Structure formats: C-alpha cells, structure tokens
Amino acid sequence: MEPVNIGLLGLGTVGGGTVTVLTRNAAEIARRAGRGIRIAHAAARQYDPERISGLDSIGRIGDDAFAVVDDPDVAIVVELIGGYSPARELVLRAIANGKHVVTANKALIALHGNEIFAAAQEQGVVVAFEAAVAGGIPIIKALREGLAANHIEWIAGIINGTGNFILTEMRDKGRDFADVLAEAQALGYAEADPTFDVEGIDAAHKLTILGSLAFGIPLQFERTFTEGISRIEAQDVAYAAELGYRIKHLGIARRTPDGIELRVHPTLIPHRRLIANVDGVMNAVLVKGDAVGPTLYYGAGAGALPTASAVVADIVDVVRALTTDPHNRVPHLAFQPTELADTPVLPMADVETAYYLRLTALDRPGVMARIAGILGEEGISIEAIKQKEPAAGETHVPLIMLTHRVREARMDRALTRIGELDAVAGHIMRIRMETLAG
C-alpha cells in the first residue's frame, strides 16, 4: 500500500522532534499503522537544519503553511505552529479541504475547539490533539478510551512542566525564580510567552480540555479559574513543608452536585501523595473514576521527543481510522457530540476547598482570639495554627493556619474582615489545600 502523505506545519522544537521520530522509528511505526507515513510537504518560516535529524526524508519544504493545507497530495495536516492565529485559520481550512488534522496546540483547542470539532464533524474528518495536554503522557487516550466505563469524579494534574520545574528548584536549591525560568526557556520547555507558564494560562488551556473530556461538557476556557505561582514565597514553601505539605501548581477539575469546578492554582498537598513527589519538568495527572478508583499518569510534559511521541501516536491513530466510518470513530470530546451536557462550571466563589493562611499579626494577647473569632463567625473551622517566634525587635509575628473545607465566598469575607483588624499588617497569603484522597 502507498504511504500516507503528511503535511507538516512548523519545524520548531516539536516539529523537529516529529521529523526525528517519524524517520527514526519509520519501520516500526509502519508495522503499527499498516502503512508507511511520509512527510510530503512541510512549511516553516525558519528552522535550524543542523538540529533536525531526518530532514532529508521530507518531500518538499517551503515557507507557505497555506500551500501545505491546500496541497491535494496531503491527507493529514500536522499543525505544530502553536498560538491562536494563523493556526485556527489553517486548521479550519485543512478541515474544509477534507483533510484530517493532528495538533499539539492546547491554546487553539481550549479556545476554538468547539468550532473546530463542529467543522470536523461536518466534514467527517478527525482532529487529534493528544500532544496538547501533558506532552508525552497519553492522558487524552486514557480519558477518552481507557476510562470510558467510569463516572469521572475528579482530576488533579501537574500539567505545566516549566511551573513545576521552577517550584522544585526553588524548594530544593533555593534558586531564584528568574534564573530557573531562563533555564526552562533554554531547554525548550517554556511557552513563547513564559507568563503563560507562570501565571497558569498554559495549565488552564490543558485543564479546560481535560474537564471537557472527563465530564462531557463543551470547552469553556473563559470559565476556568486561573492563578499563577508568581506570588509564592520561599517562606510558604518552608512552612508548608513543616506542616507536612508540598506546594504544587495544580489543575483541578471536579464534579460536584452543584456543577463543575475548573481551577488552576498553587495547592498544598500532603507530601506523602505520589503526585506531591513529581518534580522538575515532569507532569502527572491523577484521575479518580468511580469504578477504577484513583489512577496516576506520569511522564514528560514537554520537550521535543516526548511531545513528538504523542503527535506521532495521533498520526498513527488517524492513519488507522482513514477507512473507518466517520460516525464510528472515538468522539473528539469523548462523549458523542449530541450528548454534551450543559452542566454549569462553578464560579470560584462557590468552590469548596481547605486553606493555608499566612498573616502577619501583632504579638499581643487577644489577637489570635479575634482572628479565630472572625473565622468562627464565618463558619470556618481551623485545623492547625502555628505561630512563629518574633524576630529580634519585631512586634509582629507570622501566623500560619490551616482550615477545613469551606466555600471560597466565606473565606473571602473572613479575609476582608481579618485584613481590616489593626493588629494585622500587610497582605494575607492564602493558598488552597487539597488532600487528594482516593
């Protein structure tokens, strides 16, 4: 049988990795797919030929991405440019031309996935996006296929390698935030705009996708709560450790009787949890299904070859599906498109979680009672309190508290009232806390 012709958009980190994997493992990939896979036409504005092995296997390399999606010889377009535009226009045009699409573009899927999947459905083509979430970890396949029997209860994931690398290096080596970020950029892990990593936007793109796959709801990036790691201080990392916790930047999707939580924020988790020990650039996703219980998926969430591993697996899947009836393929968002639910995504004020609080209070009798009183009046139960020694000559002391679970709106009210006390100085640090118990 003739090889399948691929059109490749982008020869950067992931594009280069994809060329390498497709050529290096060509024979084995063909044995799996049932046909050879050939990059017939690639487009890149710029690339470094020295850094890409297998480049000479590509039929033709140009700089016009639209020429690739319009090329009648191309059956599958692999979009590895990233960003919203022109990726959206290219993918929609490829679909309109009747081509299947493989993409690693989480921003594109999180923001424009509903439109893209509707267009693909209409044309009877596949849009595959395994590489969009957690790089080389086959988490989309696991959610869509491996866990299809389950009522998914919650997901908690470390889904941004750069953020995890920064938190790990800060904790283990006391390194400076900017210095670690620069290293992640040099290693090709960070986004083109690294604020996407540290402010949680990249993780929110990925969580939006995971939430839709888990709960069968349309993609709703605009409703995903996002808080980054840039406010985390070394003292919080140290206090969390003293209390038996680690701070991780988690994406959490949870089903509750009132709606669905979609939230990305720094989170204290018990240090004994496996996921609390996922360090460096590695990603991990913990999925709790009602039948299977908790399951954990771990691996490289970024980088050329791990991401290419997911891209090429998608290409193989699409090649296998070329001759199948479009109505009998795995649905894009795991649930049949007509079966997506309108379950509301909860505003953060309605989310219930436990909290770590750090405030700076006057070291005087009655202050702690006043603070505890306000928490009690708002229905917030305290789990632990730690007061540190005042530094020499200091009148104020750091006060660390852990609370039981409470609705965020109540905590907001309590923190406003506590912040207004004369005895409390400066900003109150609040970090959400989860036990992630199976």
Residues making contact with ligand HSE (CB under 6 A): 135, 160-162, 189-191, 197, 202, 301-302
Query: Any residues with CB less than 8 A from the CB of 323 and at least 6 apart, and which?
Result: none
276 versus 302: smaller Cβ distance to ligand HSE:
302
Question: Could you give the CA distance from residue 223 to residue 145 in angstroms, rounded to a whole number?
Answer: 26
Q: Which among 273, 268, 280 has a CA at the least distance from the CA of 172?
A: 280
Cβ of 233: how many Cβ atoms within 10 Å?
A: 11
202 versus 378: smaller Cβ distance to ligand HSE:
202
Nearest distance from C-beta of residue 16 to ligand HSE, angstroms: 15
Nearest distance from C-beta of residue 160 to ligand HSE, angstroms: 4
Burial 250-288 (b: 16+ CB within 10 A, else e): bbbbbbeeebbbbbbbbbbbbeebebbebbebbbbbbbb
11 versus 131: smaller Cβ distance to ligand HSE:
131
Nearest distance from C-beta of residue 255 to ligand HSE, angstroms: 25
Which of 141, 206, 248, 288 is flagged as catalytic? 206
DSSP state letter for 142: I
179 versus 339: smaller Cβ distance to ligand HSE:
179
Nearest distance from C-beta of residue 190 to ligand HSE, angstroms: 5
Is residue 87 within 8 A of residue 103, CB to CB? The reply is yes
Nearest distance from C-beta of residue 110 to ligand HSE, angstroms: 12
79 versus 197: smaller Cβ distance to ligand HSE:
197
Question: Could you give the CA distance from residue 369 to residue 372 in angstroms, rounded to a whole number?
Answer: 5
- 288 annotated active-site: no
Q: Is the torsion defined by CA of 421, 423, 428, 432 positive or negative? A: negative
Question: Could you give the CA distance from residue 405 to residue 427 in angstroms, rounded to a whole number?
Answer: 22
Question: Could you give the CA distance from residue 347 to residue 422 in angstroms, rounded to a whole number?
Answer: 31
Residues forming the active site: 206
